[in-house]
Amino acid sequence: MATHKGFTLWFTGLSGAGKSTLARMIEDRLRGLGCRVELLDGDVVRTHLSKGLGFSKEDRDENIRRIGFVCQILSRNGVIAIGAAISPYRAIRDEVRGRIENFVEVYMECPLEVLVERDVKGLYKKALAGEIKQFTGVSDPYEAPLDPEVRINSSAEAPEKSLERIWETLLRLGLISPDGAAPGPAGG
């Protein structure tokens, strides 16, 4: 049985980089150890919490603020909040980080060529052809984190290896303790 502090694990990266996959893997591991955890996936949030928002910079920022607000509430109440959203702008991610005491950023990087190959819906090809406007990483910017707690290149590393690196970071920061002992001091 694991013990844990409330914290937010924030996955950022381009569409198709593996945010949701890895977020679900860590969620499953934490739940399996009896942790209180909630996953806020960007696609799901867009249909419920952020319904009606478009893809302008202002709307994207508002979407991330909303996800961040929910993560903040969960974290301060002892829940592990996992946010998995493109969150393309560094300033808004830093704003959210500034409001959450224990914030761990995971940057999922992946070359555009690989993302295009992985894209079963063909959205990247449409965006590259100019058929989709405001597509992050193609016609809209993505500002990579400067100093994330974990940096993962999903084109070069198996998800299981990435999961272990995230797990080791959470242990090192004292946010989880898989042996049931009280976690140590948390990093931020």
d(CA 150, CA 162): 9
Q: What are phi and psi of 183, to 5 degrees?
A: -65, 150
Q: Which band of pLDDT confidence, cut at 50, 70 and 90, is reported for residue 48? A: low
Asked whether residue 161 is assigned to any structural domain, the reply reads yes
Q: Which amino acid, one-letter code, is at 81? A: A
Asked whether residue 127 is assigned to any structural domain, the reply reads no
d(CA 12, CA 17): 9
Q: Which two tokens stand for residue 26?
A: 């860590």
103-126 pLDDT, tens digit each: 999 999 999 999 999 998 899 999
- Give this prediction's pTM: 0.90
Q: Which of 15, 50, 87, 154 is catalytic?
A: 87
Q: Work out whether strand 176-177 and strand 3-4 pair parallel, antiparallel, or are unpaired.
A: antiparallel
Answer left, alpha or beta for residue 84, where phi above 0 means left and psi between -120 and 50 means alpha.
beta
Asked whether residue 187 is assigned to any structural domain, the reply reads no
Q: Which one is predicted more confidently, 122 or 181? A: 122
Asked whether residue 115 is assigned to any structural domain, the reply reads no
Confidence at residue 182, expressed as pLDDT on a 0 to 100 scale: 44
pLDDT mean across residues, the chain:
89
Do 175 and 33 meet the contact criterion of CB atoms below 8 Å apart? no
CATH code for the domain in which residue 52 is found: 3.40.50.300
Asked whether residue 128 is assigned to any structural domain, the reply reads no
Q: Which amino acid, one-letter code, is at 58? A: E
Q: Which band of pLDDT confidence, cut at 50, 70 and 90, is reported for residue 158? A: very high
The residue range of the domain holding 31 is: 3-110+142-177
Q: Which band of pLDDT confidence, cut at 50, 70 and 90, is reported for residue 3? A: low
Q: Which one is predicted more confidently, 177 or 90? A: 90
Give CA angle at 28 (26, 32), nearest 5°. 115
Asked whether residue 47 is assigned to any structural domain, the reply reads yes
d(CA 104, CA 91): 16
- The total of structural domains in the chain comes to 1
Asked whether residue 162 is assigned to any structural domain, the reply reads yes
Q: Which band of pLDDT confidence, cut at 50, 70 and 90, is reported for residue 2? A: low
- Catalytic residue status for 75: no
Asked whether residue 131 is assigned to any structural domain, the reply reads no
35-44 pLDDT, tens digit each: 999 999 877 7
Tokens 């560094």, residue located: 90
In this prediction, residues 146-164 reach a mean pLDDT of 97
d(CA 173, CA 17): 25
